[in-house]
Amino acid sequence: MTQITPQPGIMEIALYQGGQSNIEGVTDVVKLSSNENPFGTSELAKEAFARARHELHRYPPTDHASLRAAIAEVHKLDAGRIICGAGSDEVLQFVTQAYAGVGDEIIYTEHGFSMYPILAHMVGAVPVRVPERERTVDVDAILNACTDKTKIVFIANPANPTGTMIGGNEVARLATGLPKGCILVHDGAYTEYVEGFDGGAGLVESCDNVLMTRTFSKIHGLGGLRIGWGYGPKDMIDVMNRIRQPFNLSVAQLATAEAAIRDTEFVERCRSENTRLRAWLAEALAELGIPSDTSTANFILARFASEQEATDCDTFLKKEGIIVRRVGGYGLPNCLRITVGDEASCRRVVYAVKQFKGVAP
Ligand SMILES: Cc1ncc(COP(=O)(O)O)c(C=O)c1O
């Protein structure tokens, strides 16, 4: 028997399941399983990426000053309180590693993003799963679940995979009701899809225990490049910077992200198209007897009558070259999460579901 053992919690981690991207034997595939931007990436960002090839022999700056300044300018934030990571996943990892350890508790909610329990196990903490109310974060349930061991509460708002959201007053009630020393991580991966929403930035200004995380992977269409950021109290950012590797973002990531965040026209266009197509998709599916909660993100959670029906529909869609996301692992076995694609993809999904239901013309 080997004497080499991993740290506590590591063997409890179930590997993260990414969205499927291929179907064997099918060439014309529509991938609607990873909440990617169907409109791709801003042309200005692509140009910046291409220009970065001339700098590949240089180490990147360690302080991300130029990217942080751009984020601060666009979102009217304090650049000194921004931290950047390889995807927002890395920022979530920073806060977990910095503030939780063996024996501590980390709260996430019933259908919460699957990285949260993985991160808890990574540091030997206990992931505590708290019920939601009708697929929506329940602030009272979270507050009731807090103990003196609770170090972090993770909520995504809008949430993945439900697409639901809680209002600013509820988030503030949560932040201020947490035990002393407990951090609220307000994960804003889908913030930009909500018109006029600050993603929790205002709460960061008024509370000293809130960290907001954001990503370039969704509306900015840069999931393949891995860039995210966080905004929090200065002392929390200072702590996290101590465990951040100095060169965690490459010259290509930094340059591309900076151009992407400055291309506000592209973001606006993607947001408004998503809003229009999301409403159309949700309504078309509802007319077929498949309801969904009002989504505030770039996907909808389609609810089928049974797990069997969801499985059968998924199988049928795959045969038609359409990949959506099974969410049984999120405690939603009768649901399929469908990313809002471009118009052609949305129409293709609805037509295929009509065929599945036997009502296609
Ligand atoms: C709620 C939520 N948080 C965080 C992430 C991580 O995003 P990234 O690491 O690509 O920034 C995702 C990605 O799917 C997500 O859905």
- What spacing in Å lies between the alpha carbon of 196 and ligand 1's midpoint? 20
Ligand 1 pocket residue status of 193, Cβ below 6 Å: no
Ligand 1 nearest atom to the CA of residue 159, by list position: 1
Q: What is the pTM of this model?
A: 0.96
Averaged over 113-138, what is the pLDDT? 97
Evaluate: CB of 189 within 6 angstroms of ligand 1: yes
Neighbours of 91 (CB within 10 A): 27
Give me the percent of the chain exceeding a pLDDT of 70. 99
C-beta 199 within 6 A of ligand 1: no
* SS3 of 49-78: HHHHHHHCCCCCCCCCHHHHHHHHHHHCCC
Q: How far is the CA of 220 from the centre of ligand 1 (A)?
A: 13
Q: Are strands 30-31 and 210-215 parallel, antiparallel or unpaired?
A: unpaired
Tell how far the Cα of 191 is from the centroid of ligand 1, in angstroms. Answer: 11
Confidence of residue 321 (pLDDT cuts 50, 70, 90): very high
- pLDDT (0 to 100) of residue 22: 83
Q: How confident is the model at residue 202 (pLDDT cuts 50, 70, 90)?
A: very high
pLDDT score recorded for residue 143? 98
Q: Among the atoms of ligand 1, which is closest to the Cα of residue 216?
A: 11
Query: Torsions phi, psi of 327, nearest 5?
Result: -130, 30
Which amino acid is located at 33 in the chain? S
Residue closest via CA to ligand 1's atom 3 equals 189
The token duo for 255 is 């340059």
Distance from Cα 88 to the centre of ligand 1, integer Å: 6
Q: Residue 23: pLDDT above 90?
A: no
* Strands 228-231, 82-85: pairing kind: antiparallel
Contact 315, 356 (CB under 8 A): no
Question: What pLDDT score does 1 carry?
Answer: 60
Is residue 88 in contact with ligand 1, taking CB distance under 6 Å? yes
pLDDT digits (tens, 9 = 90+) for 28-84: 899 999 999 999 999 999 999 999 999 999 999 999 999 999 999 999 999 999 999
Q: What separation in Å is there between the alpha carbon of 79 and the centre of ligand 1?
A: 22
Section 140-150 average pLDDT: 98
Q: From ligand 1's centre to the CA of 89, what distance in Å?
A: 6
State if residue 163 touches ligand 1 by the CB under 6 angstroms criterion: no
Q: Cα of 118 to ligand 1 centre, how many Å?
A: 13
Q: Which amino acid is at 93?
A: Q
Ligand 1 site, residue 217, Cβ cutoff 6 A: yes
Beta bridge partners of 82: 231
Structural tokens at position 163: 């697409």
Domains of the chain: 10-40+265-357 (3.90.1150.10), 43-263 (3.40.640.10)
**What is the C-alpha to C-alpha distance for residues 107 and 256, in angstroms, rounded to an integer?**
34
How confident is the model over 233-291, as pLDDT tens digits?
A: 999 999 999 999 999 999 999 999 999 999 999 999 999 999 999 999 999 999 999 99
- Rounded to whole angstroms, the Cα distance separating 337 from 32 reads 8
**Distances from the Cα of 351 to the Cα of 109, 151, 265, 282, 322, angstroms:** 34, 47, 31, 13, 11
Query: Residue 20's pLDDT band (boundaries 50, 70, 90)?
Result: confident
